[in-house]
Amino acid sequence: MVIDEGSADQRLDNFLIKVLKGAPKTLVYRIIRSGEVRVNKGRASADTRLALGDEVRVPPLRLTEKPADEASAVPAREFPVLFEDEVMLVIDKPAGVAVHGGSGVSFGVIEQLRRARPQARFLELVHRLDKETSGVLVIAKKRSALITLQDCFRHRTAHKTYAALVSGQWPEKKKVVDVALHKFLTAEGERRVKAVAGDDDDGRRSISLVSVVKRFEAFSLLDVTIKTGRTHQIRVHLSHEGHGIVGDEKYGDFVLNKALARGGDGALPGVDRQRLPDGRWDRMFLHARYLRLPHPVTGEELTFEAPLPPACQALLAALAPAKPVGKPGVSRG
């Protein structure tokens, strides 16, 4: 298959899901991971961006076409709208919902939106958020807008800030995390990311700017602005510095997360369980709260803000405030 203008700049996985009618998403991701799918005669990853004229080779597959059945299995759903016009849609994605189906997930935001809006001729994700991350998510309603908006993210003219609650006291002087990241697959095929040395051949330079919004007795609420958009960047950067995101099952403080998720009335330092629903917390506290970018048609600077979800606000209200730091005593002669 040769990529034409209608398919240019799509991710490889999204392209294959569209053209391989009847292929389960698990099969699509398996043949990509195994190297059976080739782009210009070379291996490619699921997030490879296809360019005009690229040649994509797919192994012979025996498929049963069931697009109607698959579509009917996706429940239609709208999401809170932060902005919408004829070329783009900006929503406030809830935690616990994937942005798209694949890798064991039957459907996500984009499939549900397409189901809810059968009259829409074009709906595509501009960028990604992790399943457990909530907040601002941009969807294009025209291919020209998709290409322009993705260029904004690629060339860093889109400015994203996240709210993250981490364990411990984040150092006041630690304003920048400039640590290379390497993405890899575990033996089970699960996607993971690790911090590596700057001169590591597999590492990609990754930069996060961090500021402390509020301190608590045992936690820190941070604003994190990413200058690069690597997979799991914030999660790995904060964990690498010794302050994992609360509720992060992959990179966080596993003992703390287990204690928070267990619930009940057992004592937990710095947390008033009685102020939490069922005394427990079982999601990741990472929220895409702010996004600024130019409009894909007019060029006007647009700003979108998603308020902290009620669950996050409830957790903050349950945290003990930071203890005041006393001034050093003055000796008298």
Domain chopping of the chain, boundaries: 1-61, 159-317
Distance, CA of 103 to CA of 100 (rounded, Å): 10
Distance, CA of 80 to CA of 306 (rounded, Å): 10
- What's the pLDDT at 7? 73
Catalytic residues: 130
Distance, CA of 284 to CA of 133 (rounded, Å): 7
Domain 159-317 is classified in which CATH homologous superfamily? Pseudouridine synthase (3.30.2350.10)
- What's the pLDDT at 278? 84
For 261-300, write each residue's pLDDT tens digit.
987 777 888 999 989 888 889 999 999 999 999 999 999 9
For 98-153, write each residue's pLDDT tens digit.
998 876 678 999 999 999 999 998 999 999 999 999 999 999 999 999 999 999 99
For 21-42, write each residue's pLDDT tens digit.
778 888 899 899 999 999 999 9
* Architecture, CATH, for domain 1-61: Roll (3.10)
* Structural contact between residues 19 and 65, judged by C-beta atoms closer than 8 angstroms: no
- What's the pLDDT at 60? 84
C-alpha distances (whole Å) from 284 to each of 56, 90, 156, 251 are 37, 22, 26, 11
HEC profile for the chain? Answer: CECCCCCCCCEHHHHHHHHCCCCCHHHHHHHHHCCCCEECCEECCCCCECCCCCEEECCCCCCCCCHHHHHHCCCCCCCCEEEECCCEEEEEECCCCCCCCECCECCCHHHHHHHHCCCCCCCEECCCCCCCCEEEEEEECCHHHHHHHHHHHHCCCCEEEEEEEEECCCCCCCCEEECEEEEEECCCCCEEEEEECCCCCCCECCEEEEEEEEEECCEEEEEEEECCCCCCHHHHHHHHCCCCECCCCCCCCHHHHHHHHHCCCCCECCECHHHCHHHCCCCCCEEEEEEEEECCCCCCEEEEECCCCHHHHHHHHCECECCCCCCCCCCCC
Report residue 281 CA to chain centroid gap: 20
- What's the pLDDT at 67? 52
Residue 190's pLDDT band (cuts 50, 70, 90): confident
Mean pLDDT of 218-241: 95
Checking if the pLDDT of 95 tops 90, the result is yes
Q: Is-above-0.85 flag for pTM?
A: no
- What's the pLDDT at 81? 98
Give me the amino acid identity at 264: G
For 40-87, write each residue's pLDDT tens digit.
999 999 989 888 778 999 988 876 554 555 556 889 999 999 999 999
C-alpha distances (whole Å) from 139 to each of 16, 92, 110, 150, 293 are 19, 11, 8, 10, 13
Distance, CA of 196 to CA of 178 (rounded, Å): 11
Q: How many CB atoms lie within 10 A of CB 56?
A: 19
For 231-262, write each residue's pLDDT tens digit.
899 999 999 999 999 999 999 999 999 999 98
Checking if the pLDDT of 214 tops 80, the result is yes
Residue 333's pLDDT band (cuts 50, 70, 90): very low
C-alpha distances (whole Å) from 1 to each of 26, 66, 91, 262, 308 are 21, 22, 34, 51, 44
Checking if the pLDDT of 198 tops 80, the result is yes
Residues in the chain: 333
C-alpha distances (whole Å) from 187 to each of 29, 184, 192, 203 are 15, 10, 11, 20
